[in-house]
Structure 1
Amino acid sequence: MANGVFRGFVTGVVISGVGVGALSLLTALPDGPAPKAIPVEVPAGSDFEGKREDKEPVLPGGETAPAPGTSPRIETPPAEGGAPVNEDATQPAGRPETDTPDNTLTPPDDGAPVTADAETDSAPNPATDVQQPSTPEGDDARISTDPAQPAAPDTPEDKAFPEEEPKDDTTVDASPAAEDGEPPAPPKRAEPLPSVTDDTVADNRPRIGTPVGTLTDKDDTEEPAAAPEPESAPEPPIVANAAPFDNPEGKPLMSIVLLDDGTSDIGLDALAAFPYPLSFAVNVLAKDAAERMARYRAAGFEVMATIDMPAGATATDTETLLRGALDQMPQTVAVMEGDDTGLQTSKPVSDQVAAILAQSGHGLVLFPKGLNTAQKLAAKEGVPSATVFRDFDAKNQKAAIIRRFLDQAAFKARQEESGVIMLGRLRADTISALLLWGLQDRATSVALAPISALLLGAQN
């Protein structure tokens, strides 16, 4: 219904518009006054009303072209003063004629050899004479040179080499008797040299094996004392306190570190029979930290000293606390920051830690933080250092979840050249998960190593 109403409205509007347009065309315009013509004043001399006659157009004339076959002649202007130009001067020059020069070399008439002086006197000018002199023929054409070559020595005809005079050991006696006609004395034989005996050798020079005497003979010879061997430098603690480890197959390394804060009741009997090496981080603030360190070392485990720097600690505070901890726990291989404030509270603290450990020879284990600037600076100072890959039981995870984390770490270790560090705590579920995981195939894909082996491998 609404469409019908709208359609009717539109139709009505269109019909009304058409009717109004037709009515406007049929209606006559109202009558009004007719327009009047007003004469226009034309200024005198403008010839506005004059008539213009039609005439034939006059075209501009062009220059007359020369007739075919003729060319315009250029007249030579007269010379200065009105004298005409000499016609001979305008003619081209003739071809030059060649002739034999007068200063050509000719051979001498009498056949005499040409000397150097003669050559100098009669030498032609090379700039004007290009003709080659004729070459004389025969033996007379040779040019003599001064000085003359020396004659070759005469060669004996009989033998190529002269005979050597025989040598004799006799001496000719040139005594005056021989000159007076007396018979010469018999030739004298050379006197034989005296025989050299052992006594003579012994008297003149030392025998082989006999020591040569000095200017002042001494009965007792003193041997110089041997120089003491330099003492070898002591091994750094990361090497001296390390547990034995071997990786003949070159597998990727994986270290498992357990935190001991002094509250665990798990004894060493449960840990001594572990199928792979473990490393322990003992808190230096524990009341029996030194005793715990000694027990772990006696059982063959590696130990690290765990320490936290208080907030706002300075470089001096860091040096005092860290050196005190190392003196308290001398059998540690490295230092590990605690899970509270740690060792990365400020750059002065991190720099001081790296400087002290570089001097003491300990390693360093840090938690990952940002771009791991503190760990990179410590490695630059020569400190064997690394960061923890995962803390797998910080939220009291169950054994199944811990084993899954360990599987991920084993896969990651095959991608990292320096290996991975896994961190746990002395809890019953953690120890159970570690034992079960060590029996799986995934554990055999990596080499479970003490922390010193991983830190030294990361340094290399």
Structure 2
Amino acid sequence: PPGAPLLSLVLIDIGAEGLDRQTLLTFPFPVTFVLDPAAPDAEAAMAAYREAGYEVAVLGRGLADLAPEAAAARLGAALDRIDGSIALVTPEEGGFEGDRDLTGPVLGLLEASGHGLVTADKGLNDALRAAEQAGLREAGIFQTLDDAGQDAETIQRMLNRAVLEARQTGHAVIVGHSHPETVTAIYAWALLSGPADAVLAPLSAVLRQSRP
């Protein structure tokens, strides 16, 4: 709905360590799945999620360990492999975002490919500001639900805080992993209380808000 605050749930598919994919394909509300391009079944996972109507994004990891040209080449190969993706998602601190030499090539590649950027908006992170200045669609991650072993009750409180953030700023992006406990907590929250006066929306809806 026009003007509604948006809450986007972004779930990192951790493969065999998490829930099986057939279960993940049963979400009755929008979820954007993030795939590791190094996973052996990344292309098959992308096809399954896309066929079921879900959006897919690419997990950005390990770019900070590379020279700028090598980082751009790795990212380009990742975007080519997961060619139905809408954005690069880098949920962890310490990535390319704090390195200006890396930021330029990465943002240039995203601009050329039409992908958005979703990254942890904490600490030394000039990438979001640079992406905005370059005209890219971008969004900061409000919180990661399960980065410290949070239990179900804590995850549901974090989801409620994300709803408040969405009401105050227009949108919120919250990230989790496909751990059984995380998915169960999200389901329980959605069924019992849900987003209240915010709207659960795919990541692309939030990214479209970032530019007129």
Superposition TM-score, scaled by structure 1 size: 0.44
Shift of 1:275: 3.0
For 1:368 and 1:407, how far apart are their aligned partners in 2?
Answer: 19
Contact (CA 8 Å) 2:93, 2:120: kept in 1 or not? no
For 2:179 and 2:18, how far apart are their aligned partners in 1?
Answer: 9
**Could you say what secondary structure the match of 1:286 adopts?**
coil
**Could you say what secondary structure the match of 2:16 adopts?**
coil
For 1:280 and 1:266, how far apart are their aligned partners in 2?
Answer: 13
Q: 1:324 to 1:272 in 2, by over 3 A?
A: closer
Query: In structure 1, what is the equivalent of residue 144 of structure 2?
Result: 391
Query: In structure 1, what is the equivalent of residue 92 of structure 2?
Result: 339
Amino acid at match of 2:184: S
Query: In structure 2, what is the equivalent of residue 298 of structure 1?
Result: 51
For 2:36 and 2:65, how far apart are their aligned partners in 1?
Answer: 20
Query: In structure 2, what is the equivalent of residue 315 of structure 1?
Result: 68
Q: What is the identity percentage for the equivalent residue pairs of Structure 1 and Structure 2?
A: 33
Query: In structure 1, what is the equivalent of residue 110 of structure 2?
Result: 357
Larger Rg over CA atoms: 1
Amino acid at match of 2:198: V
Query: In structure 1, what is the equivalent of residue 190 of structure 2?
Result: 438
CA RMSD of aligned residues (A): 1.8
| Within-5 A mapping of 1:6-25 | none
Shift of 1:340: 6.8
Q: Are 1:451 and 2:203 counterparts?
A: yes
Query: In structure 1, what is the equivalent of residue 78 of structure 2?
Result: 325
Query: In structure 1, what is the equivalent of residue 17 of structure 2?
Result: 264
- Structure 1 unaligned blocks of 5 or more: 1-246
Between Structure 1 and Structure 2, the one with more strand by share is 2
Shift of 1:309: 3.3
Shift of 1:282: 0.5
Shift of 1:357: 0.7
Superposition TM-score, scaled by structure 2 size: 0.92
Q: 1:346 to 1:299 in 2, by over 3 A?
A: same
Amino acid at match of 1:327: D
Q: 1:263 to 1:270 in 2, by over 3 A?
A: closer
For 1:398 and 1:443, how far apart are their aligned partners in 2?
Answer: 19
Q: Deviations over 1:347-403 (max 9, x none)?
A: 111111111111110111111233642111011111101111001111221111111
- Structure 2 unaligned blocks of 5 or more: none
For 1:273 and 1:288, how far apart are their aligned partners in 2?
Answer: 19
Contact (CA 8 Å) 2:18, 2:180: kept in 1 or not? no
Q: 1:295 to 1:340 in 2, by over 3 A?
A: farther
Shift of 1:435: 1.0
For 2:146 and 2:36, how far apart are their aligned partners in 1?
Answer: 18
Shift of 1:410: 0.5
Q: 1:434 to 1:300 in 2, by over 3 A?
A: same
For 2:199 and 2:66, how far apart are their aligned partners in 1?
Answer: 39
For 1:404 and 1:369, how far apart are their aligned partners in 2?
Answer: 20
**Could you say what secondary structure the match of 1:422 adopts?**
strand
Q: 1:312 to 1:305 in 2, by over 3 A?
A: closer
Q: Deviations over 1:102-161 (max 9, x none)?
A: xxxxxxxxxxxxxxxxxxxxxxxxxxxxxxxxxxxxxxxxxxxxxxxxxxxxxxxxxxxx
For 2:131 and 2:108, how far apart are their aligned partners in 1?
Answer: 8
Amino acid at match of 2:154: I
From 260, 277, 281, the equivalent of 2:34 is 281
Q: 1:376 to 1:435 in 2, by over 3 A?
A: same
Between Structure 1 and Structure 2, the one with more helix by share is 2
Q: Deviations over 1:201-256 (max 9, x none)?
A: xxxxxxxxxxxxxxxxxxxxxxxxxxxxxxxxxxxxxxxxxxxxxx25x3200101
Q: 1:441 to 1:266 in 2, by over 3 A?
A: closer
Contact (CA 8 Å) 1:409, 1:420: kept in 2 or not? yes
**Could you say what secondary structure the match of 2:104 adopts?**
helix
| Within-5 A mapping of 1:2-401 | 247=1, 250-337=3-90, 339=92, 341-370=94-123, 372-401=125-154
Amino acid at match of 1:424: G
Shift of 1:427: 1.1
Contact (CA 8 Å) 1:393, 1:402: kept in 2 or not? yes
Shift of 1:453: 0.8
Contact (CA 8 Å) 2:58, 2:82: kept in 1 or not? yes
Question: Which of structures 1 and 2 has the larger relative contact order (alpha carbons within 8 angstroms, sep 6+)?
Answer: 2
